[in-house]
């Protein structure tokens, strides 16, 4: 059975300023797809720490799916895409494109999201925006394709 991890990336939330709402929504998305969440992190916007947690969940814990939320915008400390790009082997641009496309219906700033998706070994890593509402919208846009992607990465080739 596939397993997931969720990483919330927010310096303010990591300092205890406010409650993480996006992480629980990502966990609910994974659980709704039938992928139990094995672990959750709440970390600051530090590239080395983001890379470290991505490697931990992909390589040490062998999670099939790692979902991140936060750090995908234009602020100087928004470095989640760069950290993700540093650890993945291959990008999965269609996932990020679908997430941005659905955001277009809801915000004029949709094109400012820099989140990416990619594959490290047999782990799918997806960057979600930090907004709880955007997590819901983006999750709905890609939920149908995720189980198939995980099957393919696990070597279980199902019908195309």
The CATH number covering residue 74 comes to 3.40.980.10
Residue 128 lies in a domain: yes
In a domain, 159, yes or no: no
Residue 17 within a domain = yes
pLDDT at 18: 95
Range 46-62 burial, b when 16+ CB lie within 10 A, else e: beebbbebbbbbbeeee
User: What distance in Å separates the CA atoms of residue 6 and residue 12, rounded to the nearest whole number?
Assistant: 17
- Tell me the pLDDT tens digit for each residue of 95-153: 999 999 999 999 999 999 999 999 999 999 999 999 999 999 999 999 999 999 999 99
Instruction: Give the domain range for residue 44.
Output: 4-153
Please report whether residue 12 resides in a domain. Answer: yes
- Give the residue from 60, 19, 58, 64 showing the smallest Cα distance to 42: 19
The answer to whether residue 158 is domain-embedded is: no
d(CA 135, CA 124): 17
Report the Cα 139 to chain-centroid distance in Å.
Answer: 10
Count: domains in the chain: 1
pLDDT band at 156 (very low <50, low <70, confident <90, very high): confident
Residue 160 counted as domain residue: no
The answer to whether the CB of 116 falls within 8 A of the CB of 127 is yes
Residue 160 confidence (pLDDT) above 60: no
In a domain, 135, yes or no: yes
Q: What is the pTM of this model?
A: 0.97
Q: 123-128 and 117-120 as β-strands: parallel, antiparallel, unpaired?
A: antiparallel
Q: What is the pLDDT of residues 1-57, one digit of tens each?
A: 899 999 999 999 999 999 999 999 999 999 999 999 999 999 999 999 999 999 999
Distances, alpha carbon 131 to alpha carbons 1, 51, 55, 60, 75, in Å: 29, 21, 24, 29, 14
CA-to-CA dists, residue 129 to 49, 65, 76, 78, angstroms = 18, 17, 15, 11
């Amino acid at each position: 059975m596939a397993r997931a991890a969720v990483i919330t990336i927010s310096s303010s939330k990591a300092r205890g300023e406010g409650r993480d709402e996006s992480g629980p929504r990502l966990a609910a998305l994974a659980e709704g797809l039938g992928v139990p969440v094995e672990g959750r992190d709440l970390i600051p916007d530090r590239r080395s720490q983001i890379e470290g947690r991505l490697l931990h969940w992909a390589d040490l814990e062998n999670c099939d799916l790692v979902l991140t939320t936060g750090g995908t915008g234009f602020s100087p400390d928004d470095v989640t895409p760069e950290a993700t790009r540093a650890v993945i082997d291959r990008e999965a641009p269609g996932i990020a494109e679908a997430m941005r496309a659905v955001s277009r219906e809801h915000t004029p700033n949709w094109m400012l999201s820099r989140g990416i998706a990619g594959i490290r070994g047999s782990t799918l890593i997806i960057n979600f925006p930090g907004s709880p509402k955007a997590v819901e919208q983006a999750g709905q846009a890609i939920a149908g394709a995720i189980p198939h992607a995980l099957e393919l990465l696990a070597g279980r080739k199902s019908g195309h």
